[in-house]
Amino acid sequence: MGGDDGVHPASTRVPARIQRPRHYRRDVLSLITDRWETTRGGPRGGSANPPPAIAAVRIIVLVVMLATVPLASPHPGLTGPRGIAITVALAVTAVAWIVWLRAGGRYWLMVTALAVMAVAGGTLAGLSPFSTAIAVGCVVTSSAGVRLSTEASLTITAATVAAFLIAGFTVRAPAETLAGYPAAFIGLWAFGLTRRAYLLRAEEAEAALEQARRAHAAENQASALAERARIAREIHDVLAHSLAAVSVNLQAAEGLLGALPADSRGSEVVKAMECIERAVAFTRDGMTETRRAILALREGSDADGEPAAAPTGGPAGTAGLVATAGLAATAGLVATSAGPAPTRLVAELRKLTDDFRADGDAVIDLELIGEPRKVGAEPALTAYRTAQEGLTNARKHAPGAPVTVGVTFTSAHLEVRVVNALPAADEAGPLAHAGGGYGLTGLRERAALAGGTLTAGPEDGQWSVHLRIPA
């Protein structure tokens, strides 16, 4: 995991493939038109300078116009007002054109240059209707339609048409010219608007694609974090419970052997006690490594960023202890990613309480309220884990205290409540500080995933773990 092509579950970094998306609008359209669209407030994304091919075309059109307009009839060399007007209009158009080419990202300079070109170019086309001066109006109206807002481009197009008509009527240009040139200007303006709308849609599609990529990456990251939390829960429920149960039984065996009279201990008993001591050390190390593994998985996936802490004198959500006989069935259920069969939930709970009762000296009662019925596999597993964790914590924090496991069946919900007496502050069990602190955290996650709730805490002088889940 990780790298440029994936999302590391513990990382919030945006992958490189999302940081550097392919800009298909630039790749496909950059040789056709400038990507820099503008609104009334200024530029809207894209590059401030046109692609080199477009800039070259604009310079070529300017050079051709400057070279051919003086050769047309009438031309700037004529004496009289018309010749002078053509000369002035051509000079102003050329200067405004150059300013427009050099405007770059300066929006208002670009708009001003286009406006001057519209008036001067329209006037030039009206005074010299049989020359290439019409190219000025065509370039102005099409560029305005593509690069400016509708209102601004409409204003510039209207100025171009008005300047042309005024000059054309003044010099008595042919009627077909007076009708045809404005139609060309308006048509190219409409083409520019269409082009602008197409580019904006392309930009929106690109933004939507980028958003979809980010959403997909976020979904993958959330899935990875959820999987880390699930693995942490399973490690806790299988390894931590198993190792702790083995440790309890080994310590019990060591205590029984140590209670034998010294004169009756043979060499075999001494060797057995040494083996048990080594096994206890191994299991203790295994529990430490298990806690580290759970912590590493939880660091990137806990929603709260905090483990469940143990209140003073009360049980905590920790790696617990279960009876050896009940452990094999529990581990098997986890290994197959399924809980107790719906019709076997009560039987599994009876077996669990019987195993805990046989393993210690505490009084453990199982109370059933309501008519037992079929429940789903996930609610059944969550109920089983709740009872297991509650019994484990009672053994760790209040050894020998009576425990009641109550299971309530209603028409829509399944409730499990594990209650035990709170020990005095100075009477905590020898295993009170064992575990990693994630038992109740995992149970809360299980309950939330199934649409239920789990609460744990002191209640009327007792410690209560209460699960309520739809089933």
Q: Which fold has domain 226-470?
A: Heat Shock Protein 90 (3.30.565)
pLDDT range class, residue 136, cuts 50, 70, 90: very high
- Give the DSSP letter of residue 32: T
**How many Å apart are CA 456 and CA 384, to the nearest integer?**
16
**How many Å apart are CA 454 and CA 449, to the nearest integer?**
11
Task: Pick 28 or 283 by higher pLDDT.
Answer: 283
Task: Pick 367 or 264 by higher pLDDT.
Answer: 367
Which string of DSSP letters, residue by residue, matches 101-140? HH-TT-HHHHHHHHHHHHHHHHHHHHHSTTSTTHHHHHHH
Number of residues assigned to the chain: 471
Domain range summary for the chain, segments of one domain joined by +: 31-173, 226-470
In this prediction, residue 75 carries a pLDDT of: 63
**How many Å apart are CA 422 and CA 39, to the nearest integer?**
71
- Residues in CB range of 199: below 8 A, 6 or more apart: 25, 29, 33, 35, 37, 146
The pair of three-digit structure tokens given for residue 72, joined into one six-digit string: 């047309």
Task: Pick 465 or 316 by higher pLDDT.
Answer: 465
Which of these, 315, 355, 352, 353, lies nearest to 333 by C-alpha position? 352
Mean pLDDT over each residue of the chain, to the nearest integer: 75
* CA distances from residue 349 to 73, 197, 303, 352, 468 in whole angstroms, order as listed: 106, 67, 30, 5, 16
- Residues in CB range of 434: below 8 A, 6 or more apart: 244, 287, 318, 319, 396
In this prediction, residue 416 carries a pLDDT of: 95
pLDDT range class, residue 276, cuts 50, 70, 90: confident
Q: What would the pLDDT profile of 314-351 be if each residue is shown by its tens digit?
A: 333 333 333 333 433 443 343 333 445 555 889 889 98
Task: Pick 27 or 84 by higher pLDDT.
Answer: 84
Minimum mean pLDDT range among 5-19, 102-116, 285-299: 5-19
Task: Pick 406 or 429 by higher pLDDT.
Answer: 406
In this prediction, residue 93 carries a pLDDT of: 93
Contact predicate 238/331, CB 8 Å: yes
In this prediction, residue 468 carries a pLDDT of: 94
Task: Pick 390 or 12 by higher pLDDT.
Answer: 390
pLDDT range class, residue 237, cuts 50, 70, 90: low
Statement: residue 61 has pLDDT above 70: yes
Which string of DSSP letters, residue by residue, matches 401-458? --EEEEEEE-SSEEEEEEEEEPPPTT---TTTT-S-S-HHHHHHHHHHHTT-EEEEEE
In this prediction, residue 150 carries a pLDDT of: 87
In this prediction, residue 413 carries a pLDDT of: 92
**Cα three-residue angle 218-219-222, rounded to 5 degrees:** 85
